[in-house]
Amino acid sequence: MRSNIACIHAAVAAAVVTLLLAGCGERTDAEIVESARTKLQTNERQTAIIELKTVLQRSPQSGTARVVLGQALLDGGAPALAMVELEKARELKHDDNAVVPPLARAM
C-alpha cells in the first residue's frame, strides 16, 4: 500500500514538473529565427528549416522567417521552393535589401 502511494506521488510530481517545464519553454518567434540562423551556420539546415516552418505556422506574416527560410532552401539546392518563400516575403513588404539578392540567385 505504501509503495502504491509513493508511486502515485512520484507520478503526480513528474506530471507537474513536465507541465511547468512545458510552459517555461515557450520561445518567441524572434528567438526561434535566431536559433535557425545559428543552426544554418553550423550546417544543421534541416533543423533550421523545421524551426522556420514552425514560426510560419504561428506567424505566417513573418517576412524575416520567410527570408531566412528562402535562403536556407536556396543553399540546400531547392531554388524553386526558395523563390516561393522569398516572393511571399516581398509581398509582405519585407526589406528589399534582404529579399532581392537571394531572390535573384534563385532565378
Of 73, 56, 57, 75, the C-alpha closest to 65 is 56
pLDDT in tens, 16-66: 434 444 455 799 999 999 999 999 999 999 999 999 999 999 999 999 999
User: Which amino acid does the sequence have at 40?
Assistant: L
Do residues 64 and 33 make contact, with C-beta atoms less than 8 angstroms apart?
yes
Q: Tell me the pLDDT of the chain averaged across its residues.
A: 85
Separation between Cα atoms, residue 77 and residue 97, nearest integer Å: 22
Full-model pTM = 0.75
Q: Look at residue 59 in the predicted model and tell me its pLDDT.
A: 96
